[in-house]
Chains A and B, each alone.
Chain A
């Protein structure tokens, strides 16, 4: 499988710029392009790169009256506090466990939806379903959590239905054994339809001939799905899986933040919610919080670049 590489890097014209005097001419020729780029570049510098510089307070003892530059250096001392903090390790553990569980239980669902959806004939039913499936993706977790927390409350509709069917009522969201599974189910409820579109796009590019060949061999619909559709989108699945692995340090802040409650805090606190809590809810030690954030960002960076490279090895361009 060939690695395609980036289109830009290999073009010969890129090399022409290195020719001394010509650079100035090229710059002048492209002056309007630079003008167009300027506002965006300023944006990135101010709101992305300045904050990147600000992480040095992870190695300082930040005091508001001294500012970023004036605060004293204390080297790795913040990290000695961080790594002695049980709440930090709990948050780290939860982050990893939840992310891995998402990969196992949550990840396959959009694939299945795409596979099933592909088997439906085009028509009103399909179009309506597609609208319904993809719609919740465009709502914020504030809205969705508001609806679902009420829906799954002890006296809410879900429990009412359960009782009518003969089951007993459960505290879906305040039971430590049920909260995480509910996270994965509700995440799929909101986003699986939308995520299935990528797989659907891959499926539509499968040639008809393969299906016709399978038909001749007497394959049922189910067998065709297993032996034709799945192998063809195998690469897409693998790549998306690898990219998801690259994101395990982000276990879904928006969702968890809006669905969390004190009863399940211990098993649902992830790094991001932990950082938020210690920064904005209580006496804030900016250096401490930044140290944790930096730790997370570095691991994130390593994971994402590594997994992106692995994904490229499977023949796609990854994300970059």
Chain B
């Protein structure tokens, strides 16, 4: 990481306003953190303690029943497994398709380049809507097939544009000298361009990964097989049921009396923990991606 010039925008003036700012932002930070903390707490206490403690800051007794119950059933397992399949098949496909289009579109030296670019951009402006998409998937025989989920979100046009802009900023001279040495476009892309594009590749890879992890809408529409449902959908089924039996059915696969809120919060915790752990380490890639995108318009 190159060193950025440290910006001292305001020269150490501590007036009432800066105190106000520090406190306000800190408050907002707490407002964001507390519901998460609260959710995790609920997942770790007994129903009794939950009902009798109005304002919980620390649990009196840690009770991991909710987690035990969840891990006894196979719903979470199905969810994690399906989501991992989606990730392992989907993200490489995303990268392959996106790079495959981003690089050529960043070079304006072949017929139809502009047309193809407009072709791609137009898809961001107009959409056929949900039902026509549903009909296309059905006609392809892909309803209730995990491939539908993997293919529908094959390219995110916004990320494509982001990557294309980055490739555009790589000097043409590199290509020209490679071409003089007899290299073809594939060689140039894989051996020269991709290593230089590592920042944007990392960023887009992370964006796609997060999107895949969070996918729930298309699975909800297209997948019906109880054993092939992604994590977010399992979670959705758990969280949006209201009776204890239904919740248990969604959470573990059979009906049993459970501490509803505890199970819900435990399921939520298990779903968001991977992101919570990984996020601080990859945060800078996301920020760089947005900065690159906004600066280049």
Contact = CB atoms under 8 A, between A and B. Distances in A.
Interface of A: 7-9, 11, 13-14, 17, 23, 26-27, 29-30, 32-41, 43-44, 46-55, 57, 68, 113, 116-122, 125, 128-136, 138-140, 142-143, 145-151, 157, 160-161, 163-164, 189, 193-194, 197-198, 201-202, 204, 208, 211, 215, 220-222, 224, 254, 258, 275-276, 279-280, 286, 289-290, 293-294, 296-298, 300-301, 304-305, 316-320
A8 B113 contact: yes
Interface of B: 6-11, 13, 15, 17-18, 21-22, 24-26, 28-29, 31-36, 38-39, 42, 54-56, 96-101, 103-105, 107-111, 113-114, 116-117, 119-121, 123-133, 135-136, 140, 151-152, 154-155, 160-161, 168, 184-186, 189, 210, 213-214, 216-217, 221, 232, 235-236, 239-240, 261, 264-265, 268, 271-272, 275-276, 279-280, 283, 286-287, 290-291, 294-295, 297
A54 B22 contact: no
Contact of B111 (A17, A50, A136, A194): A17
A47 B17 CA distance: 52
Nearest to A190: B32
A227 B291 CA distance: 24
Given A146-B268, A150-B261, A139 B151 contact: no
A51 to B, nearest CB: 3
Given A51-B132, A120-B22, A132-B29, A161 B108 contact: no
Given A48-B127, A222-B15, 8 more contacts: A8-B117, A55-B128, A120-B22, A140-B232, A202-B294, A221-B10, A286-B131, A297-B126
Contacts of B17: 119, 220-222
Given A30-B109, A54-B136, A122-B6, A49 B116 contact: no
A289 B132 CA distance: 10
A306 B235 CA distance: 40
A44 B155 contact: yes
Given A43-B154, A54-B136, A221-B15, A197 B97 contact: no
B265 to A, nearest CB: 7
B232 A120 contact: no
Contact of A40 (B15, B101, B133, B161): B101
A140 B216 contact: yes
A142 B133 contact: no
A88 B240 CA distance: 26
Given A157-B38, A189-B32, A215-B11, A51 B22 contact: no
Contacts of B111: 17, 23, 26-27, 30
B128 A113 contact: no
Contacts of B25: 113, 116-117, 120, 129
A286 B103 CA distance: 39
A254 B211 CA distance: 13
Contacts of A221: 10, 13, 15, 17-18
A37 B35 contact: no
Contacts of A301: 125-126
B126 A300 contact: yes
